[in-house]
């Protein structure tokens, strides 16, 4: 009989229980992605709240929205990544690719490019 909770049975059906060390490593990776998401959210809020005198409103809002959207995506992607890895381990399948990593890299590069262009072309 399966002694897991109904949620665990629903999210992680079938397969064999993986080594707890691997599940805990997967959880630590999930938490690292969540920390990154929180940092992006905080960065977006900080840009909007404290960069009033530095950036024009359109640029400031654009950067803030981009950072907050990246934070939202990374947060949701972290859960999907955790779930995919956990399912793969339970069924002895290869681990899925981390799709949130390239999106985070591209989003960070776009944010940095906007800031760089703004600094280069608006500095006195």
| pLDDT tens-digit readout, 105-122 | 888 888 788 778 877 887
Other beta carbons less than 10 A from residue 54's beta carbon: 13
pLDDT at 30 (0 to 100) = 95
pLDDT at 97 (0 to 100) = 87
Please, which pLDDT band fits residue 83 given cuts at 50, 70 and 90?
Answer: very high
Other beta carbons less than 10 A from residue 66's beta carbon: 19
pLDDT at 124 (0 to 100) = 63
> Could you read off the pLDDT of 11-65 as tens digits, one per residue?
888 888 899 999 999 999 999 999 999 999 999 999 999 888 877 888 889 889 9
Handedness of CA 103, 108, 113, 118 (dihedral sign): positive
pLDDT at 77 (0 to 100) = 92
- For residue 106, what is the DSSP state? H
- How far from 55 is each of 42, 44, 108, CA to CA, in Å? 17, 13, 18
Indicate the burial class of 111 (C-beta count within 10 angstroms; 0-12, 13-18, 19 or more): buried
Of the candidates 107, 30, 7, the residue with the CA atom closest to the CA atom of residue 67? 107
N residues, the chain: 124
pLDDT at 89 (0 to 100) = 95
């Amino acid at each position: 009989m399966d002694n897991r909770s109904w949620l665990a049975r629903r999210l992680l059906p079938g397969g064999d229980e993986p080594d707890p060390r691997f599940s805990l490593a997967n959880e630590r990776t999930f938490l690292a992605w969540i920390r990154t998401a929180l940092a992006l959210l905080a960065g977006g809020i900080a840009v909007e709240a404290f960069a009033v005198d530095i950036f024009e409103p359109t640029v400031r809002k654009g950067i803030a929205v981009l950072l907050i959207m990246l934070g939202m995506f990374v947060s949701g992607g972290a859960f999907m990544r955790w779930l995919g890895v956990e399912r793969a381990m339970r069924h002895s399948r290869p681990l899925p690719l981390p799709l949130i990593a390239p999106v985070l890299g591209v989003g960070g590069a776009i944010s940095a490019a906007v800031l760089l262009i703004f600094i280069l072309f608006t500095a006195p």
